[in-house]
Amino acid sequence: MAFRKFLPMFDRVLVERLAAETTSKGGIMLPEKAQGKVLQATVVAVGPGSTNQKGKLTPMSVKVGEKVLLPEYGGTKVNLEDKEYFLFRDADILGKYVE
């Protein structure tokens, strides 16, 4: 797995967006332009955290495997072994889904 070879620095989080729905609730196939941007993702790797002004490490708010809600814009696209991932700062993640 590509993310095992990649560790984000500081307060960065590596996520993999969930696949977009290709059919509507009524069963109609949706073209790519009609599909909405997927704002949900799974966390695949996290950095160690950032340091505050006193030099202490601030822990990350998400863990590997959690499902999170992303902002519509932002993040850095990263291609690892023909898969597309995105890097976000921990503070940019809007929330996480609790099961």
Q: pLDDT by residue (tens digit) across 42-62? A: 999 998 888 888 989 888 899
* Mean predicted confidence (pLDDT) in 57-82: 89
User: What is the domain count for the chain?
Assistant: 1
| pTM of full prediction above 0.75 | yes
Q: Are 67 and 97 in contact (CB under 8 A)?
A: yes
CATH of the domain at 48: 2.30.33.40
Looking at the domain assignment, is residue 7 inside a domain? no
- The domain in which residue 25 lies consists of 12-96
What confidence category does residue 1 fall into, taking pLDDT thresholds of 50, 70 and 90? very low
Mean pLDDT across the chain:
83
Looking at the domain assignment, is residue 2 inside a domain? no
The Cα 67–Cα 13 span in angstroms is: 12
The Cα 87–Cα 90 span in angstroms is: 9
The CA-based angle 92-94-97, given to 5 degrees, is 135
Looking at the domain assignment, is residue 16 inside a domain? yes
Looking at the domain assignment, is residue 29 inside a domain? yes
Looking at the domain assignment, is residue 58 inside a domain? yes
Q: Which amino acid is at 48?
A: P
CA dihedral 88, 94, 90, 81 (to 10 degrees): -30
Asked if the model's pLDDT at residue 84 lies above 80, the reply is: yes
**Cα–Cα distances in Å, from 96 out to 41, 76, 90?**
9, 19, 11
